A and B are shown apart, each in its own frame.
Chain A
Amino acid sequence: GDSVTQMEGPVTLSEEAFLTINCTYTATGYPSLFWYVQYPGEGLQLLLKATKADDKGSNKGFEATYRKETTSFHLEKGSVQVSDSAVYFCALSLNTGFQKLVFGTGTRLLVSP
């Protein structure tokens, strides 16, 4: 079945460090890929998405490129801030009919001043 695998956390960084959170997927079709962020005590917010191979999603300094050859969608940010501390979820959705999101287990990011 369709699945998403994320790197284990927590990821602990100092402010202004470079961030990479790895995400790989398995899907029977050609999925769209998403990164969602969850701040403490809150629901999920869409961070960025990409709908086809080689697309790059970007938002608030975060980027991820849809790599079909490696079935990956790694999240990157050049310089993290304390306010980026949250849990990040990679997810996929197949581009057919009624869609459901399949999520990874999440990666907690902790940024210290």
Chain B
Amino acid sequence: DQQVKQNSPSLSVQEGRISILNCDYTNSMFDYFLWYKKYPAEGPTFLISISSIKDKNEDGRFTVFLNKSAKHLSLHIVPSQPGDSAVYFCAASGPGNQFYFGTGTSLTVIP
């Protein structure tokens, strides 16, 4: 039962353009959402998060948008840089402090 879904396994964008990564969830009890970035042979590292009481959170080049009615969130990276090339995981958690992850989207930023 996949509670968090990332339907795009890969994405390629040109350097300087916007990267948009999408994520959908099914459990309405989730109230905290996170994005993680993963390089090969390393553990995932936290990138940005958003609470369900907000619909947008910005941190530098990274912005996460949350649409609770659609159970959808997205990560925008502007401008995209070659160093952003990695696998991005969406995660969600609820009152039990359990974190559920999507299957990841592999982003390639082309110089």
Task: Answer whether A and B are interacting partners.
Answer: no
Q: Which residues does A use to contact B, with CB under 8 Å? A: none
